[in-house]
A and B are shown apart, each in its own frame.
Chain A
Amino acid sequence: MLFFIGRRLYQAALVMLTVALIAFAMFQYVGDPVSNLAGQDTTVAERELLKERLGLNDSVLEQFSRFVINAVQGEFGVSYRMRVPVRDLIAERFPATLELSMMSAFLALLVGIPMGVYTALNRDSWLSRSFMTLSLIGISLPTFLIGIFLILFFGVILQWLPTFGRGEVVDLGWWSTGMLTGSGWRSMIMPAITLAVFQMTLIVRLIRAEMLEVLRTDYIKFARARGLSERSISFSHALKNTLVPVITIIGLQIGSLIAFAIITESVFQWPGMGLLFIQAIGEVDIPIMSAYLLLIGFVFVVINLIVDILYYTIDPRLRVEK
């Protein structure tokens, strides 16, 4: 087990180093930091001084290693536009994104898995047919449209829920949370549903397809022939076997929830990282872009590591004996 995790960590480090290289390359190729920082009337001498101070005269290798060392310590430089350390910007925005995406992942799993199991077990009932039709709509409707419909219906017409922002947040010092106030929860509902719909439908279809496959296997037939109860067959035998391949995809999906909540965040003006990133692109704010890239890379690597460990605990066939 330790050996297994060790090897995965080593691979993760390699991946992160590659991502860092790309993030670092952005500084070199996307725009010129000096002209970004300097105004029109800066003299050539001042420009040189700035260049020296930013370390742009050092060799590429030196600059890269400095970049990596800084990044490991959470130091991503100063935003060109806002003149604030990128670290502070991200620390301010990250909780919003993480709370939103965890909430919608939770929703997607909570609704998606039982629905997938139900539609697989009762393939021909009218309820599963209507679930499947609904999931087809969910998978093909673009996220922003769902968001706008929700805003129109619950925000504008019924006026039940707020249409933008996080509501009141409580600052815990290192983390600002909307989960402790009523308005925070109410603000969360619509964005979380919007973000969850696609994942949910994907999970329903995935679980259903995989479960149907598992239900055809001999060990399920044998379990039936031994007179085990339907409940035990469906859940402790079939569902567990279904989850083995599904976990990978669910893991990747949760990663993309965090990384690509951009559209939902824009629709609901959710003060998360996606919104920050969109603004950064518009303003060619490279420190923010590269920090975002690194952070998302890190999130994916961590999720993959968790998925691998889950795999290892669920499937005994992967535990190679020495």
Chain B
Amino acid sequence: MPLLQIRGMRVEFPSRRGSVTAVRDVNFELESGEILGIVGESGAGKSTIANAILGLLEPPGIMSRGEVLLDGECIDGLPIELMRKIRGKRIGMIFQDPLTSLNPLQTIEEQLVETIKIHLQFGESEAQKHAISMLEQVGIPDPDIRIKHYPHQFSGGMRQRVVIALSLCANPEVILADEPTTALDVSIQAQILDLMRRLVRETGVGMIIITHDMGVISEICDRVMVMYRGDVVETGPTRKILGNPDHPYTRSLISAVPRADRRMDRFPLVEYIEAAGTPHKPIDVQDHWLGKARNFGGSKNEFLVSVKDLEMRFTTVRSMFKSRRRYLKAVDRVSFDIRPGEVLGLVGESGSGKSTVARLICGIYKPYAGQVVFDGTDLTSLGSRRQINIYRRQMQMIFQDPFSSLNARMRVADIVAEPIRFHRLASSNKEVLAIVDDLLDHVGLGAAAGKKFPHEFSGGQRQRISIARALATRPRFLICDEPTSALDVSIQAQILNLLKDLQEELQLTMLFISHDLPVIRQVCDRVAVMRDGKLVEEAKTEDLFNKPQNEYTAHLLKLMPRLHSHGAK
């Protein structure tokens, strides 16, 4: 008998305008000691399945059809008191963001002991002992001291270990892990995946991992179930699904994952999704507005952007006395150059100072020391706002989060027009609007989009709006700070293709910041690697990926999930 069995599950969210079906006729089984992956893009219904199993659907969601069998016993529709004896005791759950899934006001011990005492008939001291051994099991050093600490005293990876300890502390038979490593850095992700694999092997639990990341699937799962808009499109052993998928959606989804092993001209699109390849209208710089008033090729300088000994400090301990102040060196004597028309990639884990470098270059932060030279002029030496604005116009930034980087109260046309108006790049309002329409056309949204508000667009479309806004000042230099990390793979492929096309047509110079090595490999000409605020290696992309010189770079490359080698094995 399978440990967990889902039969004909259907989840609906009734609303005034009819009911939305989030999950349709899902069937699967899970054995003990097995790791099943559920993969799909956002909106596929992956998390809904996990919530439905535990009876934790957000109202008004209901499981309208189907059965959940745990050890052959039907557990859906149980009264809440009985369900509570299953949650945590027989089925544990791990959440995505370790920073928010622990109660900030309680020590780790209080949270563990409470959970243990509810499910296992333990006394206070016994529960305490058990809690410490749980922390030890998930690899937290000095568990007897650390247990007294509060969640904010742990790093992200350590917190996820605590979350895992909490889900495992009552010895459940099944673990549901909802995007357990999405919020973590690659090196931490590797450790957590290792830990989960080890725990499954040692305790024999059955685990379901929900993820959008094919890399995670290939690393850890025995079997995979692929979902698309509420339907299961394919289920099978990992090697089969990744190496030789039957369904066209699976095939195109896998091909859209940026390859780490070689560089390709363009990103393959997920053709299965309708309108995936919104045609992009090519731009001829010779007669286009975007090409006007630019001295193409006329630059006398070898480098368009040079950063020299850049340094940035944040005060961590304030004090009236200079000697007692403490600083964090976010950027520590970083130097690099970017040639006109070149794309430089900046790679590093969170906290390595990548984004700080971007902000220093475009003037959001003032450097503590060092120079930013743009086309021969040291920007840090400029005094007046007017002088700075001349250069500000020439460099633009695209941010990571498409939801918070657009003003929700402005129409899209005004968002894109704002920089044109500010820098007085057009003579009349009519001209401004014509330019805006044209720009929206070029990024594949169509001029009609201008009348709408940002919330009417999806994440990928919003990122297109950000790109149109960045282009509106006719920039020469574009800084992209993780432009696709908040997007699904299929959308990521579209956005990266768009950026590549625009870069070629407009001969843009780019600084491309990302933690995602495969993406970097596809997009960048040269790569610089940062760690703890320092630049550790800089090389041509292909050289860096083939023969990394620095130990840390090699380490990062090794951790990079290699999805495509899996099928070849």
What residues make up the interface of A, taking CB atoms closer than 8 Å to B?
A: 217-219, 221-230, 232, 237, 240-241, 244, 314-317, 321
Q: Which residues of B have CB within 8 Å of A226?
A: 87-88, 92-93, 115, 118, 166-167
Interface pair B166/A222, CB less than 8 Å apart: yes
B87 to chain A, nearest CB (A): 4
**Is B54 in contact with chain A by the CB < 8 A criterion?**
yes
Interface pair A221/B56, CB less than 8 Å apart: yes
**Is B229 in contact with chain A by the CB < 8 A criterion?**
no
Q: Which residues of B have CB within 8 Å of A241?
A: 103-105
User: Knowing A222-B93, A222-B95 touch, does A317 contact B88 (C-beta < 8 A)?
Assistant: no
Instruction: For the A-B complex with A222-B93, A222-B101 known, give 9 more contacts whose Cβ atoms are closer than 8 Å.
Output: A222-B95, A222-B102, A224-B87, A225-B56, A225-B92, A226-B166, A228-B114, A232-B114, A317-B150
Q: Which of B64-118 contact A (CB under 8 A)?
A: 80, 84-89, 92-93, 95-97, 100-107, 114-115, 118
| 12 pairs, CB–CB < 8 Å, chain A vs chain B | A218-B101, A224-B56, A225-B87, A226-B87, A226-B93, A227-B86, A227-B115, A227-B119, A229-B84, A315-B104, A316-B152, A317-B152
Alpha-carbon distance A228/B102, docked complex (angstroms)? 14
Closest 6 CB pairs of A and B: A227-B88, A227-B87, A226-B88, A225-B93, A218-B100, A316-B150
Q: Is the interface of A mostly helix, strand, loop or mixed?
A: helix
Closest A-chain residue to B89, C-beta based?
A: A227
B248 to chain A, nearest CB (A): 35
**Is B163 in contact with chain A by the CB < 8 A criterion?**
yes
Q: Which of B441-468 contact A (CB under 8 A)?
A: none
Alpha-carbon distance A224/B106, docked complex (angstroms)? 16
A36 to chain B, nearest CB (A): 46
Closest A-chain residue to B105, C-beta based?
A: A240
Interface pair B85/A227, CB less than 8 Å apart: yes
Alpha-carbon distance A221/B97, docked complex (angstroms)? 12
User: Knowing A240-B105, A241-B105, A316-B150 touch, does A225 contact B88 (C-beta < 8 A)?
Assistant: yes
User: Knowing A222-B95, A225-B93 touch, does A316 contact B105 (C-beta < 8 A)?
Assistant: yes
Closest B-chain residue to A316, C-beta based?
A: B150
A80 to chain B, nearest CB (A): 45
Alpha-carbon distance A250/B167, docked complex (angstroms)? 37
A214 to chain B, nearest CB (A): 10
Q: Which residues of A have CB within 8 Å of B153?
A: 321
Q: Which residues of A have CB within 8 Å of B115?
A: 226-228
Interface size class of B (residues with CB under 8 A): 20 to 34
Interface pair A225/B54, CB less than 8 Å apart: yes
Alpha-carbon distance A230/B104, docked complex (angstroms)? 19
Alpha-carbon distance A9/B54, docked complex (angstroms)? 51
B323 to chain A, nearest CB (A): 15
What residues make up the interface of B, taking CB atoms closer than 8 Å to A?
A: 54, 56, 80, 84-89, 92-93, 95-97, 100-107, 114-115, 118-119, 150, 152-153, 163, 166-167, 170
Interface pair B54/A237, CB less than 8 Å apart: no
Q: Which residues of A have CB within 8 Å of B88?
A: 225-228
Alpha-carbon distance A232/B105, docked complex (angstroms)? 14
B77 to chain A, nearest CB (A): 17
Alpha-carbon distance A229/B115, docked complex (angstroms)? 10
Alpha-carbon distance A241/B104, docked complex (angstroms)? 8
Interface pair A223/B92, CB less than 8 Å apart: no
Alpha-carbon distance A32/B558, docked complex (angstroms)? 84
Instruction: Name the contact of B104 in the complex, choosing from A227, A232, A317 (C-beta under 8 A).
Output: A317
Alpha-carbon distance A222/B163, docked complex (angstroms)? 9
Q: Which residues of B have CB within 8 Å of A228?
A: 84, 88, 114-115, 118
Alpha-carbon distance A219/B88, docked complex (angstroms)? 14
Interface pair A217/B100, CB less than 8 Å apart: yes
Interface pair A227/B118, CB less than 8 Å apart: yes
Alpha-carbon distance A150/B152, docked complex (angstroms)? 50
A158 to chain B, nearest CB (A): 45
Alpha-carbon distance A229/B93, docked complex (angstroms)? 16
B319 to chain A, nearest CB (A): 11
B521 to chain A, nearest CB (A): 33
Closest A-chain residue to B149, C-beta based?
A: A316
Instruction: Name the contact of A227 in the complex, choosing from B84, B105, B106 (C-beta under 8 A).
Output: B84
The residue among A217, A227, A316 with the most chain B CB atoms within 10 A of its own CB is A227
Closest A-chain residue to B119, C-beta based?
A: A227
Interface pair B105/A314, CB less than 8 Å apart: yes
A186 to chain B, nearest CB (A): 41
Q: Which residues of B have CB within 8 Å of A321?
A: 153
Q: Which residues of A have CB within 8 Å of B80?
A: 230
A319 to chain B, nearest CB (A): 9
Interface pair B167/A315, CB less than 8 Å apart: no
Q: Which residues of A have CB within 8 Å of B119?
A: 227
Alpha-carbon distance A316/B89, docked complex (angstroms)? 29
Instruction: Name the contact of B103 in the complex, choosing from A219, A225, A227 (C-beta under 8 A).
Output: A219
Instruction: Name the contact of B100 in the complex, choosing from A219, A227, A230 (C-beta under 8 A).
Output: A219
Q: Which residues of B have CB within 8 Å of A315?
A: 104-105
User: Knowing A222-B166, A317-B152 touch, does A237 contact B56 (C-beta < 8 A)?
Assistant: no
Alpha-carbon distance A223/B114, docked complex (angstroms)? 10
Alpha-carbon distance A20/B95, docked complex (angstroms)? 54
User: Knowing A218-B95, A228-B114, A228-B118 touch, does A223 contact B105 (C-beta < 8 A)?
Assistant: no
Alpha-carbon distance A228/B116, docked complex (angstroms)? 10
Closest A-chain residue to B55, C-beta based?
A: A224
Closest A-chain residue to B150, C-beta based?
A: A316
Q: Which residues of A have CB within 8 Å of B92?
A: 225-226
